[in-house]
Amino acid sequence: MAEAQDRGARGFPAFAARKGGRARGQSFWARAWTGAVEETWPEEEPLKKGRSFARSGRIGPITVSPGRISAEVYGGEDAYTTVVTLRELDDQEWDLLWEKTAGRPAETEALLAGELPEDLLEAGEDARVGLLPGYGDLDADCDCDALDHPCPHATALCYQVSWLLDADPWLLMLARGRDAGEAVEELKAELLLRAMTDLDGPDEPDGTDGAAGESEGAGESGRSGDSGSVANGPLPGMDPVAAWARNPSALPALPPLPAAPAATGEPVTGIEADPLEQLVADAAVRARSLLAYALGLTAEPAPPLGLWQDTVRIAAVHPDPRVAQRLRETCGRPPQELDRAVAAWRTGGAAGLEVLEHVWSPSAQETARARAVLLAGWEAQELPELEVRDNHWTSAAQGIQVRLGRDGRWYPYRRRPDGWWPAGPPHSDPSDVLVELADG
């Protein structure tokens, strides 16, 4: 049992107390999860107590693993172990889900790009596979000995799981028995099987020429009009029939090995913190992305970064501190400017850097929607007074600021003597950002 629980387990730090924040997550998958939990456990009193306890900051780190979600909770001087169990889908159910999903091009493309599309729920319904918890496959166990079942600790844990789903909806798949990598690989296998099966074509009636039949039926099967589609035809540039029929060719002779360089102990280029290894790794990652796109397995990769963006990225992620120091000395900008840009990259990547360096004006509808979210997530008397200018929402009295990115996420900032600095990772809900800034 312990081995099953540890398989694919992921741990998450405890959430801080939320004053006036929502108890339910706000993304599609978070709302779907809480709706299913509340429908499975409809007693209002444990749910009400659970929402309050979820915001109290008395739930420890959460572990999500196949079929099991657990955490330590603290009530007064006592600590309890709370476990929510969710039935794992069996292999046949996963096969049915991917079979139905492979026939949906939009959902397939999103999954191969690493996203969890909303319409996957509909594919699950077509396959008669429930991704969300339902009657009979959701249970809770807690050593608090409360009379309610589930106890408020268990319902509170479920509400906090919805917060995790806001950031990573793939955790729902993990709880059902597949992590993101396993799910995508199984979908790819189904797509490949479907593509190779399509190559055989339908059975031809007696006396019918196979080539002619295939030509006449190409419009219906989709192979003639869309040979690059993974779901509807062979993979780009792939002809398994010809490949299997061809005799293997002899491999060319290997070229001679180059002479070994003298062991000087110096970097290859003579520069400390030699950049060649990083450049080769970056080129390999870029080549892999382009190849996956060319084969139709992923969406088109983002364009290459500009010189300044790449400088910030390398300074932010390179493990050798000498690299960052050399870039501070040679980037042509004040060292403090690079340091602030590095902090933005580490919290939000390229999108975080864009939020730091560029101001833009959201639409009136976006601004009104953000105000409504803040008012719904805070008590009126607790909400800080905010000055709104373009995509910046600033509380001058508290020295805090949230910035709306073009990606729809909210980025926290805190004022220092030398200006505004990134203060943490982005959130989809501005009220969550303000809670963390105000509590910090």
* pLDDT number for residue 338: 94
Asked if residue 86 lies in contact with residue 69, where contact means CB atoms within 8 angstroms, the answer is yes
Residues 26 and 171 in one domain: yes
Three-class SS state of 79: strand
252 in a structural domain: no
> Order of strands, edge to edge, in the sheet holding 419-422?
387-389, 392-395, 400-404, 410-416, 419-422
Residues 173 and 286 in one domain: no
The stretch 269-275 carries a mean pLDDT of 54
Residues 22 and 167 in one domain: yes
Question: Dihedral sign, CA of 264, 270, 272, 278?
Answer: negative
Return the beta strands (E) in 107-258 as ranges: 138-142
* pLDDT number for residue 88: 93
> Which domain, by its residues, includes 17?
2-89+130-178
pLDDT band at residue 215, thresholds of 50, 70 and 90?
very low
Residues 340 and 369 in one domain: no
Last residue of a domain, one of 296, 328, 356: 356
For 10-62, write each residue's pLDDT tens digit: 999 999 888 767 889 999 999 999 999 999 998 888 899 999 899 888 999 99
CA-to-CA distance for 62 and 6, rounded, in angstroms? 13
Which CA distances in Å does 136 have to 13, 37, 86, 132? 29, 12, 9, 12
206 in a structural domain: no
State the pTM of this model: 0.48
Last residue of a domain, one of 312, 328, 356: 356
Residues 348 and 372 in one domain: no
Give yes or no for residue 409 having a pLDDT over 70.
yes
For 57-70, write each residue's pLDDT tens digit: 899 999 999 999 99
Residues 77 and 21 in one domain: yes
Residues 343 and 394 in one domain: no
The four Cα atoms 31, 33, 36, 42 give a dihedral, to 10 degrees, of -80
217 in a structural domain: no
What single-letter amino acid sits at 86? L
For 349-369, write each residue's pLDDT tens digit: 899 999 999 999 998 888 888
Is the backbone peptide bond immediately before 425 cis, with ω within 30 degrees of 0?
A: no
257 in a structural domain: no
Q: 158-176 burial, b if ≥16 CB within 10 A, otherwise e?
A: bbbbbbbbbebbbbbbbbb
The stretch 149-173 carries a mean pLDDT of 93
For 77-129, write each residue's pLDDT tens digit: 788 999 999 999 999 999 999 999 998 989 999 999 899 999 999 998 888 99
75 in a structural domain: yes
Last residue of a domain, one of 297, 326, 356: 356
The residue ranking higher by pLDDT, 246 or 151, is 151
For 301-356, write each residue's pLDDT tens digit: 778 888 899 899 888 888 788 888 888 888 899 999 999 999 999 988 899 999 99
Give yes or no for residue 293 having a pLDDT over 90.
no
Q: How far apart are the first and last CA of the chain?
A: 40
Residues 292 and 423 in one domain: no
